[in-house]
Amino acid sequence: MKIDPKFHRELIGAQGAQINRLQTRYKVLIFFPRTAKSTKDDESVAEAGSDVGKPRRQQAADEVIVRGPKKGADEARDEILSLLQYLKDNSFTATVSVQQKQLPSLIGSGGAVLDQLRQTTGARIDVPSSRDASDGFSEIQIKGTKAQVAAAKKILDEKKAVFDDTVTKTIEVDRKYHKTLIGAGGKHPSVPITEHDISPG
């Protein structure tokens, strides 16, 4: 089978668990190519089916070999291709760069806002820690299906635009006007406040 190497790690599974399960279930041997960047886990799986004293031929970087009884090999191949298709369908990604000081409002108290966004879109959304910020900006990573990623990115872009367009200004107002401006019980006064109504000092 020809399979893009970027999917090999996920197909192999942690410590080879995914492929070992298929080898046991279908009584076959599954060979992934060794690469210069292979981890010990990848290599242990790639070597798991090697015949003693019979080194197998060099595999291409995108070649996966299933060896065993025809029925088992066919079923194992079909399951691998099915998993591969799932990975392809759910491997769309996007990045949204936001000001680091916007992160608290995007995450919400106890992560409530971020959890709601994940539930609404179905996308996986990873927010970096403050130490990963660069020049005051943080890169939010989105992963999922094409539709999930597009939906999450649209919402985050909209929130980012509102935040970026928000301007904060500070004015000085004599304390004797504070009570009136705040209103009874902390409510805003019924009369709209305009720049003309508030003068410094």
C-alpha to C-alpha distance for 125 and 193, rounded to whole angstroms: 40
Are 12 and 6 contacting, i.e. CB atoms less than 8 angstroms apart? no
Question: What pLDDT is recorded for position 42?
Answer: 47
- C-beta atoms surrounding 105 within 10 Å: 12
Whether 48 and 117 map to the same domain: the answer is: no
Whether 141 and 80 map to the same domain: the answer is: no
Whether 132 and 194 map to the same domain: the answer is: no
Question: What pLDDT is recorded for position 50?
Answer: 40
CATH number at residue 71: 3.30.1370.10
Whether 64 and 81 map to the same domain: the answer is: yes
Whether 119 and 153 map to the same domain: the answer is: yes
Confidence of residue 19 (pLDDT cuts 50, 70, 90): very high
C-alpha to C-alpha distance for 27 and 71, rounded to whole angstroms: 10
Whether 173 and 155 map to the same domain: the answer is: no
pLDDT digits (tens, 9 = 90+) for 99-116: 999 999 999 999 999 999
Determine the residue type at 79: E
Query: 171 versus 2: which is more confidently predicted?
Result: 2
C-alpha to C-alpha distance for 26 and 162, rounded to whole angstroms: 55
User: pTM of the full predicted structure?
Assistant: 0.63
Of 89, 106, 123, the one marking the end of a domain is: 89
pLDDT digits (tens, 9 = 90+) for 57-100: 678 999 999 999 999 999 999 999 999 999 999 999 999 999 99
Question: What pLDDT is recorded for position 54?
Answer: 40
pLDDT digits (tens, 9 = 90+) for 184-198: 665 655 445 444 444
Question: What pLDDT is recorded for position 185?
Answer: 64
For every residue of the chain, DSSP letters joined together read -B--GGGHHHHH-GGGHHHHHHHHHHT-EEEPPP-TT--HHHHHHHHHTPBTTBPPPPPPTTB-EEES-HHHHHHHHHHHHHHHHHHHHT-EEEEEEEEGGGHHHHH-GGGHHHHHHHHHH--EEEPPPGGG-BTTEEEEEEEESHHHHHHHHHHHHHHHHHHHH---------GGGHHHHH-GGGPPPSSPP-TTT----
Domain count, the chain: 3
Whether 160 and 103 map to the same domain: the answer is: yes
Question: What pLDDT is recorded for position 176?
Answer: 81
For all residues of the chain together, what is the average pLDDT? Answer: 82
Question: What pLDDT is recorded for position 182?
Answer: 75
Question: What pLDDT is recorded for position 123?
Answer: 96
Question: Domain span at residue 185?
Answer: 169-201
- C-beta atoms surrounding 139 within 10 Å: 14
The first and second tokens of residue 43, run together, are 């290599």
